[in-house]
Amino acid sequence: MAEFSEEEVDGWIEAANNLYSYVESGPSDARLAADAMANVWSGFGYLDPPADVLRMLITATEVGYMAALKDLRDGDLDDEIREWRLDDLSEE
């Protein structure tokens, strides 16, 4: 297994934190992302890495969740959602 320096890990942590700051639109998004990712991570059960690395992984998943929320708010997925909803309705 590859070994990484503390400096490299710190750089990744900083990058994840910078991404978080970039996509976070407000406290409600941060809360929604934290709640959703807490559920995902608690179900996943991967708690072996050092605390800083685990926090970085959680932050990175929260970034993805908040980016998806932004896409939803901006209407970037409206066509796909309509298609998904039609698929759901046709299955009933």
Q: Which domain holds residue 84?
A: 47-92
| Number of compact structural domains in the chain | 1
Q: What is the CA radius of gyration of the chain?
A: 17
Residue 71 located in a structural domain: yes
Residue 64 located in a structural domain: yes
Residue in 11, 3, 19, 18 with CA at minimum distance from that of residue 52? 11
pLDDT digits (tens, 9 = 90+) for 4-21: 898 999 999 999 999 999
Residues 6 or more apart whose Cβ sits within 8 Å of residue 17: 59
pLDDT digits (tens, 9 = 90+) for 37-54: 988 888 887 778 888 888
Residue 23 located in a structural domain: no
Helix 6-23 vs helix 51-74: crossing angle, to nearest 10: 20
Q: State the pTM of this model.
A: 0.78
